[in-house]
Chain A
Amino acid sequence: MSLFDGIRRAFRAPAERPEDVEREVDEELQFHIAMREERLRARGVPAEQASVEARRRFGDVAAIRDECVNEGEEQLRAAQIGERLDDLARDVRIAIRSMRRSPGFAVAAAALLALGIGGTTAVFSVVNAIYFRPLPYPNADRLAFASAAFADPMCDRRCARTPTAAEVAEWRNHARSIEEIGTIEPRQGIVTLSSGSLVLEGAAVSREIPDLLGLHAALGRGLVADDFFDGAPGVLVLSHSAWQSQFGGDSAVVGQVATIEDASYRIVGVLASESELGPPLFSLNVHTAEYVMPQSGVATSGSTNQAIVRVRPGVSGTAVQAELASLLRHASGADWQATVQPLRDMLADRYRGSFSLLLAAAAVVLLITCMNVGGLLIARLNDRMPELATRAVLGAGRMQLMQQVVTETALIALAGGAGGLLIGYYGTSAARIIPADRLPFWTPIVMDVRVVALAFALALLGGIALSVAPLITLSPARIVAGLRELVTAAPSRARARGIVVSAEVALSVVLFGVAGILVKQLIAAERRDLGLAKHSVVHVELDHHGPDPDATWAARVITGLRSLPGVRYVTVSGMPKRSIRRSVVRQDTVMRRPGAVRRAAVFVEGRSDPVTDVTFPIARVVTPDYFSTNGIPLVGGRAFTDADNAGAPAVAIINAASARRLFPGTSAVGHRIKIEAGGSTSDWIAIVGVSADQLWDPFATKQPDRAEILRPWNQVEALPGAVSLRIDGDSRPILSLVHGAMHSIDPSAPIAKVVPIEEWIDARMWTARFTTDVLATFAVFAIVLVCLGVYATVSYVVGRRRRELAIRMAVGATRRDVVVSVVRSATRMMTVGLAVGVVASLLISRLLRVMLYGSDGLDTTVLAAAVIGIFAAGCIAAYVPARRAARADPLASLRAD
Chain B
Amino acid sequence: MATGDIHILRESLDLLILKALTWGPRHGYAISEWIETATDDALFVDEGTLYPALHRLARRKMVDTAWGISENNRRAKYYRLSAAGRARFKQQSPAWQQFVGALGRALQATTSEGT
Binding site for B on A (CB under 8 A): 1, 3-4, 6-7, 10-14, 24-25, 27-29, 31-32, 34-36, 38, 57-61, 64, 67-68, 71-72, 74-75, 78
Contact = CB atoms under 8 A, between A and B. Distances in A.
21 contacts: A7-B68, A10-B66, A10-B67, A11-B65, A11-B80, A27-B75, A27-B77, A28-B77, A29-B51, A31-B74, A32-B51, A35-B72, A38-B72, A58-B46, A58-B47, A59-B49, A68-B52, A71-B52, A71-B59, A74-B59, A75-B58
A380 to B, nearest CB: 38
Given A57-B46, A58-B48, A75 B59 contact: yes
Contacts of B47: 32, 36, 57-59
A71 B68 CA distance: 21
A75 B64 CA distance: 12
Contacts of A24: 67, 77
Nearest to B31: A32
Interface stretch (B7-15, B20-28, B91-99, B106-114): B20-28
B88 interface: no
Contacts of A4: 24-25, 78, 80
Contacts of A58: 46-48
Given A3-B68, A31-B70, A60-B48, A71 B76 contact: no
B86 interface: no
* Interface SS of A by simple majority: helix
B65 A14 contact: yes
A38 B55 CA distance: 24
A3 B45 contact: no
A25 to B, nearest CB: 8
Contacts of B80: 4, 11
A154 B26 CA distance: 103
B56 interface: yes
A34 B74 CA distance: 10
The residue among B46, B72, B80 with the most chain A CB atoms within 10 A of its own CB is B46
Contacts of A72: 55, 58-59
A500 B83 CA distance: 53
A725 to B, nearest CB: 95
Chain A CB count within 10 A is highest, among B25, B59, B74, for B59
Interface of B: 24-25, 27-29, 32, 45-49, 51-52, 54-56, 58-59, 64-70, 72, 74-78, 80
Contacts of B28: 28, 31-32
Contacts of A59: 45-49
Given A10-B67, A59-B47, A75-B58, A64 B52 contact: yes
Contact of A1 (B24, B48, B69, B77): B24
Contacts of A74: 59
A36 B31 CA distance: 12
Contacts of A25: 51, 55
A60 B45 CA distance: 11
Nearest to A71: B55
A126 to B, nearest CB: 58
B64 A64 contact: no
A811 B65 CA distance: 64
| 8 A-B pairs with least C-beta separation | A59-B46, A71-B55, A67-B52, A59-B48, A64-B48, A75-B59, A35-B29, A10-B66
B6 to A, nearest CB: 13
A260 to B, nearest CB: 88
A78 B65 CA distance: 15
Nearest to A67: B52
Nearest to A61: B48
Contacts of B77: 24, 27-28, 31
A28 B75 CA distance: 9
A6 to B, nearest CB: 7
Given A32-B32, A72-B55, A78-B59, A64 B49 contact: yes
Nearest to B79: A11
A11 B46 contact: no
